[in-house]
A and B are shown apart, each in its own frame.
Chain A
């Protein structure tokens, strides 16, 4: 299946832990994104990478560090997890950020719960 995939689907962890969420797309896209959906269902951009290069960092705390080993993968590592980090995290991709009118395709989301 051609798609944007994320692992894990659910992540429950204690405050203060470090965790990672992985994202992969096999659509051949150059640009990948991380969005956060809060408890009120509001979706907001966190990061965007184009061909492994960071192009958007939306004033996210330094505890969040995206890593793009290649253009098909964009992982999100979170240090020292806090209660407020509980949310659903969505990965997305588009053909190219340079073609600004490109459609974005979303992964199924990772529900992070910090206890």
Chain B
């Protein structure tokens, strides 16, 4: 049974710092991994999608990596800003009908 874990559960950093969020999964047989952002009381915004054959994806200040064999992904945020404050969720898609299995998220706070 696939399990997804995110560490840390919460993170507070000063503005301008580079930071890394971690995601690990127990079953390496995945089709893709998706990173989402969730603002308080809002829906999920898809940030990056990494296919199982890819090693990383970049979008602006965000870079996500995937090491399928070790069951790990990282989300790197460069030059963090207060507007980056949100909960970041990672989710993996396995071979069970397309459902996403989510981690419990990392709550990020970037202080001005």
Q: A41-B87, A101-B51 are in contact. Are A56 and B99 (CB under 8 A)?
A: yes
A106-B44 in contact (CB<8A): yes
Q: Does A86 contact B (CB under 8 A)?
A: no
What's the Cα separation between A41 and B95 when bound, in Å?
A: 24
> Which of B51, B52, B95, B96: most chain A Cβ within 10 A?
B96
Q: Which residues of A contact B (CB under 8 A)?
A: 31, 33, 35, 40-45, 48, 50, 55-56, 58, 90, 92, 94, 97, 100-109, 111
B43-A90 in contact (CB<8A): yes
Residues of A within 8 A of B101 (CB): 45
What's the Cα separation between A50 and B97 when bound, in Å?
A: 10
B104-A94 in contact (CB<8A): no
Residue of A nearest to B50 (CB): A101
